A and B are shown apart, each in its own frame.
Chain A
Amino acid sequence: MKVLVVNNMAPFVRGGAEALAEHLIRNLEIAGHQAELLRVPFQWEPATRIPSQMLMARALELQNVDHVIALKFPAYLIQHPRKTLWLVHQYRQAYDLYDAGQTNLPPGQTGADIRQLIRNADDECFRDARRIFAISDVTQQRLARYNGVHADILRAPINDPERFTGGEPQGYIFAGGRINGAKRQCLLVEALADAAKEVRLIVGGPPDTANDARQLEETVERLGLRDRVRLDLRYLERHEYANYINGALAVASLPFDEESFSYVAMEAATAGKALLSTTDSGGVLGLAKDGETGWVAEPTAEALAAAMSAAYVDLARTRALGVSAKNLWESHQINWQATVAALMS
């Protein structure tokens, strides 16, 4: 089939779901389809511009397309008789962020009108869609709560599982992914100060801002941990990142209230590594189960330190936890083949 993947685009901003869309296309082709990407430009500031952006998506006509897979608002408003939604997220500022008072919708009648417009357009889109999938628990919950629509969860697979072969642990705990306050790499470093002497930590990934990098470096200095922490703060090439995962004793992922599994946790589980997380990590806890697939600690330096130390005490147990993590992960069947099949059903 000729499948068009439709996603938003914020001009000059390479954002979330761009990589997802590209991998989806590649995997659609592997499954024997022809696939192309349509990126619909979306400008939501000022919010008064949103209705015209919605109209733009709605007014586009598609010829020569058999099936559409749409990811976000307002791109998913595009018309097609065979349209599947893989909901990455709706326009949250009209829904949960609106309720939390974090919206760019103006106060007063205009904001209320725009909000209502978004909801009505969403409702119509959900009614007309062939199938709706949500990419995470949270997305599914919001959709049910605000629009009364049920969507099956269809999580984004790892793009290159073949890299994460696992391997002999090289004596360090690895914390990967973007470096910023919400991901709490700093907390890990602080925990290291209280942990057993043999515990080592490697933090590898791109810092969101120079400040995020500086904070980490200063923490390491302040606590005198330079010999036990390696900071590799940059965008890692895929094979470099995979090496870090494959050689880890355990992998830490403790973002605050994550929406979904987190790529780091999924990649670690693929490699059969035990997971270290915190009680408030949200979606990560779908993979990180205390005592089963790793450790889930309170989000404090002491609790984390205890967990980190525990990983070194009984290496066989740590390895076994990693195996369980891998089994749990595979039981979810989150791979591209299944994903494409679902999206084309």
Chain B
Amino acid sequence: MKIALCSSFVPFVNGGYRNIVEWLETMLLEAGHEVERIYLPEADSPDILFRQMAAFRFVDLDAADRIICFRPQSHLIRHPHKIVWFIHHLRAFYDLWDNPDYRGFPDDARHRGIRTALRAADTAALREARRVFSNSRVVSQRLATYNGIDSEPLFPPVLRPERFRFRGMNDEIVCICRLEHHKRQHLLVEALKYCQSDVRLRLCGLSAGTGYSAAVAQWAHDWGVSDRLTIDERWISEDEKAELLADCLAAAYLPLDEDSYGYPTIEAAHAGKPVLTASDAGGVLEFVTDGTNGLVADPDARSVAQAMDRLFEHREATRQLGEAAAARIGEMNIAWPHVLERLLA
């Protein structure tokens, strides 16, 4: 089949959002399909949003047998066989409307009008699709609540999961993801203050360039925990990731209100390592169940510290959590064959 993968991108911001598209492309090519990638620029400022959506409406992909749309507002693209794998709304106009920190513009009549119009456009565009998938139950719920759209959660797998394996358990809890406030590495660092055991923490990932990583390093110094902390602020290659996860004690991933479980969660699970997360991490909790295949702490430093100590001190239990995490992947059918089967149905 000729399949067009459609998504949006912000120029010069290399987020993990490209992985879902590019990994799917790899798998589709291996399955013998012809794939074309369409990335169009995102512009979500309220005043130009509709011009951008109009541009998407004019995209002509009749040459494709079907199209799969990912990041907003790519679902506006037209096609007789449109599949949407919805990864998130423009949340400022949806569930984050009541949060002025995230909304970024005033709650006045004009913006409420934009909100009404955007939701109507999203709903209409989603209705054009033959099928709508989401990347998590959280997102499916939002689609139902705000757009009245039924969607099937389809969990994004990592590429070549066989790269991740269990080798041993050292003293380190690793957190491999972008260093930014939203991912809350500072919470892990603060937890070190209250840790009773000799557990260590390693933070790896690219900085978002906002000075957050420097701030975290400074706090570590102020709290006197620098000796138990390693910060690798750089691009971590896939091989390095596999190595780190192979040997670590456990992984930590506790973003605030994430849309989906996040690749770090399942990368760790593939390596047989449990994830330490927080109760307000959103989609991560669709994967992690406290005490079964990971640990869910309260989003405060002491609770996180307790969890870290527990992982360190009860290694056998930690190992079992890791094994359950690996099994969870199968339970949730997070696998490429399933993904291809659903998308190509």
Judge A-B direct contact (beta carbons within 8 Å): yes
A62-B41 contact, Cβ under 8 Å, with A4-B11, A43-B62: yes
Closest to B14 in A: A36
A40 to B60, CA, bound (A): 10
| Stretch with Cβ within 8 A of A (4 or more), from B48-56, B136-144, B170-178, B265-273 | B48-56
Least CB distance from B43 to A in Å reads 4
A56-B11 contact, Cβ under 8 Å, with A12-B36, A39-B39, A61-B41: no
Q: Does B2 contact A (CB under 8 A)?
A: yes
- Within 8 Å CB of A34, what residues of B? 12
Q: Does A340 contact B (CB under 8 A)?
A: no
Q: Does B64 contact A (CB under 8 A)?
A: yes
**Cβ < 8 Å to B, chain A residues 258-310:** none
A12-B63 contact, Cβ under 8 Å, with A39-B39, A56-B58: yes
Tally of contact residues, A, Cβ under 8 A = 26
A23 to B34, CA, bound (A): 24
Partner of B12, one of A9, A55, A64: A64
Main DSSP-derived SS at the B contact region: loop
Q: Does B13 contact A (CB under 8 A)?
A: yes
**Cβ < 8 Å to B, chain A residues 29-76:** 34, 36, 38-41, 43, 49, 52-53, 55-57, 59-65
Closest to A54 in B: B58
Contact assessment for A36 and B54 in the assembled complex, using a CB-CB cutoff below 8 Å: no
A311 to B13, CA, bound (A): 55
- Within 8 Å CB of B2, what residues of A? 11-12
Partner of A39, one of B38, B45, B51, B61: B38
Contact assessment for A53 and B58 in the assembled complex, using a CB-CB cutoff below 8 Å: yes
- Chain B interface size, as a band, is 20 to 34
Least CB distance from A133 to B in Å reads 22
**Cβ < 8 Å to A, chain B residues 8-66:** 10-13, 34, 36, 38-43, 45, 48, 51-52, 54-55, 58-64
Contact assessment for B48 and A61 in the assembled complex, using a CB-CB cutoff below 8 Å: yes
A11-B52 contact, Cβ under 8 Å, with A63-B43, A64-B12, A65-B11: no
Closest to A38 in B: B41
Contact assessment for A60 and B64 in the assembled complex, using a CB-CB cutoff below 8 Å: no
- Within 8 Å CB of A4, what residues of B? 11
Main DSSP-derived SS at the A contact region: mixed
Contact assessment for B11 and A36 in the assembled complex, using a CB-CB cutoff below 8 Å: yes
Contact assessment for B52 and A59 in the assembled complex, using a CB-CB cutoff below 8 Å: yes
Q: Does B4 contact A (CB under 8 A)?
A: yes
Q: Does A2 contact B (CB under 8 A)?
A: yes
Contact assessment for A41 and B59 in the assembled complex, using a CB-CB cutoff below 8 Å: yes
- Within 8 Å CB of B34, what residues of A? 12
Partner of B52, one of A9, A43, A60, A65: A60
B interface list, Cβ under 8 A from A: 2, 4, 10-13, 34, 36, 38-43, 45, 48, 51-52, 54-55, 58-64
A interface list, Cβ under 8 A from B: 2, 4, 9-12, 34, 36, 38-41, 43, 49, 52-53, 55-57, 59-65
Q: A59-B55, A63-B10 are in contact. List 6 more A-B contacts (CB 8 A).
A: A10-B63, A11-B61, A39-B38, A53-B58, A53-B60, A63-B45
